[in-house]
């Protein structure tokens, strides 16, 4: 799929689905294939099928949320992101999986300009990965758009203390 050999990928996926038609991972791949070929309806159908096969699997949940977001379906996208995040929190033993899902959820929220929700989820990621400069910058940017420029400036000023010539940080502090 990544190499754009879509016909070969489709043939392989079809063959695998005949042998393992109840494996949700195949439908996740089918979603990627449909997106790569510009077929958003097919991607939605495939992502829904993966979710239907594994409704309690956070990977299928967030994947469906991302496809809903690509389709512009805000409420469905945010609901799936929330479901995936809650599911992984219940498992609770994998901070990397939590951080990854929270970041994806925040990305979905930002896509729909729901910066308050994005900020909340990014703040949880920072609890898991406190030293990530890019993440702290993203969090500050979300805070700015969510209407909390004072906190954003404080975070960005601290980051600029560590990297005073970082143009992106300077620009984001100016925007805040």
Instruction: Render pLDDT for 61-110 as a digit per residue (tens, 0 to 9).
Output: 999 999 999 999 999 999 999 999 998 888 777 888 899 999 999 999 99
Q: What is the pLDDT of residues 138-167, one digit of tens each?
A: 999 999 999 999 999 999 999 999 999 999
* Average pLDDT of the residues of the chain: 92
3-state secondary structure of 56: coil
pTM of the model: 0.86
The SS3 call for residue 70 is helix
Q: Write out pLDDT tens, residues 128-141.
A: 998 889 999 999 99
Answer for the pair 60, 53: CB distance below 8 angstroms, yes or no.
Answer: yes
Tell me if residue 134 falls in helix, strand or coil: helix
Q: How far apart are CA 125 and CA 63, in angstroms?
A: 19
Give Cβ neighbours of residue 50 (< 8 Å, ≥ 6 apart): 24, 25, 27, 28, 30, 31, 60, 63, 64
């Amino acid at each position: 799929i990544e190499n754009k050999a879509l016909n070969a990928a489709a043939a392989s996926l079809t063959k695998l689905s005949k042998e393992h038609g109840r494996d949700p991972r195949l439908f996740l791949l089918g979603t990627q294939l449909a997106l790569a070929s510009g077929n958003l309806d097919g991607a939605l159908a495939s992502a829904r099928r993966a979710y239907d096969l594994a409704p309690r699997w956070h990977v299928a949940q967030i994947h469906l949320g991302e496809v809903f977001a690509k389709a512009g379906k805000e409420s469905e996208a945010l609901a799936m992101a929330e479901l995936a995040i809650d599911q992984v929190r219940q498992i609770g033993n994998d901070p990397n999986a939590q951080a990854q899902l929270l970041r994806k959820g925040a990305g979905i929220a930002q896509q729909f300009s729901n910066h308050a929700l994005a900020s909340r989820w990014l703040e949880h990621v920072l609890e898991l990965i406190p030293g990530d400069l890019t993440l702290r910058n993203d969090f500050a940017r979300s805070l700015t758009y969510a209407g909390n420029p004072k906190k954003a400036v404080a975070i960005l000023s601290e980051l600029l203390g560590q990297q005073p010539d970082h143009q992106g940080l300077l620009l984001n502090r100016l925007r805040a």
